[in-house]
Structure 1
Amino acid sequence: MEIKIGKTDGKLDPELFNSVAHQAARRIAGDDLRKNDNKPTQLRKFYDEIVLWDSKVSLHPEKFDEYLPFIRMLNAKAAYAKGRKLVDDNFVNLMHSGLAQVVCPETLHTFKLFMEAFMGFYKQERPN
């Protein structure tokens, strides 16, 4: 699933945290109906780690370049979770798409906000 977290003409897509996040949550929760992937606790762990990195970067923005390899390592963690059947390809692709666009503290924060919205909609789409 491809998302665009960067700005166009200096503005965020007004639907990024609304319909885009909802569509992503619906797609990933919908996959769950066919398989037993995308464990909510697993998705929450990824969100929590993104929040952790966003907090670290907001405290020390000058260290962003030092932190970026560890932030991008979330792709490897998502691949590992997929190998353990805790998440599916769509979630791995969502993480990859978002993390590829994290190039500065601002884009990391935007990705964190997107994942926050995604998690809220995911809970609605898959309440249990």
Structure 2
Amino acid sequence: MALVEQIWKDKAKGEVNPLAFSALAQKLAHHISEEGGGPRGRKNKSTQLRKYYDVIFNLNQRAKSQLDEAKWNVILAQLHKQLALVHYSKGRDLITDSFVSMMDELIKAVNNQKDLQVITDFLEAFMAYYKECRPRN
């Protein structure tokens, strides 16, 4: 099952899976950490991943206050720009395929501000669990 489908219980009704921000985020954080080499791994460093979360968090904050369509399109374009930056990091061998796939799926699933809010909340939970996996980097 695709990640986005696991996050939403019923997207049409706006219902989020109650386990998305706990069990699902934790499982994915542990998997991506291990794929990057575990606590002392050279790939998927928490500071590298945190940069993407920070940008998405800031875009979400802007989206909350700027509701007109023209400004939303700018925010959406900047969100999709993050995909290019994720792939650039992959090309530099800083992150793994699993992180690229996660970000690709999450970003492409955003169609409106509600979607962006849910994705931001999921990434916040993911980063919290990830820090547990990678306390030193």
TM-score (norm 1): 0.92
| 1:37 and 2:43 correspond | yes
TM-score (norm 2): 0.86
1:73-95 per-position Cα deviation (integer Å, ceiling 9, x unaligned): 11111000111122111111010
| 1:68 and 2:76 correspond | yes
Count of aligned residue pairs for this structure pair? 128
Which consecutive aligned stretches of 4+ in structure 1 deviate over 6 angstroms post-superposition? none
Does the 8 A contact of 2:36 with 2:95 survive in 1? no
Residue number among 55, 64, 70 corresponding to 1:58 in the alignment: 64
Is the alpha carbon distance of 1:91 and 1:17 closer, same or farther for their aligned partners in structure 2, counting shifts above 3 Å?
A: same
Is the alpha carbon distance of 1:37 and 1:2 closer, same or farther for their aligned partners in structure 2, counting shifts above 3 Å?
A: farther
Task: For 1:65 and 1:6, locate their aligned partners in 2 and report how far apart those are by CA, in whole Å.
Answer: 23
Q: Which consecutive residues of structure 2, in runs of 5 or more, have no partner in the other structure?
A: none
| 1:81 and 2:89 correspond | yes
**What percent of counterpart residues are identical?**
32
Q: Alpha carbon RMSD of aligned pairs, Å?
A: 1.7
Give how far 1:6 is off: 4.1
1:66-118 per-position Cα deviation (integer Å, ceiling 9, x unaligned): 32121111111100011112211111101001001110000001100000000
Q: Which consecutive residues of structure 1, in runs of 5 or more, have no partner in the other structure?
A: none
Task: For 1:38 and 1:105, locate their aligned partners in 2 and report how far apart those are by CA, in whole Å.
Answer: 28
Give how far 1:3 is off: 1.4
SS in 1 for 2:21: helix
Task: For 2:43 and 2:107, locate their aligned partners in 1 and report how far apart those are by CA, in whole Å.
Answer: 21
Counterpart position of 1:111: 119
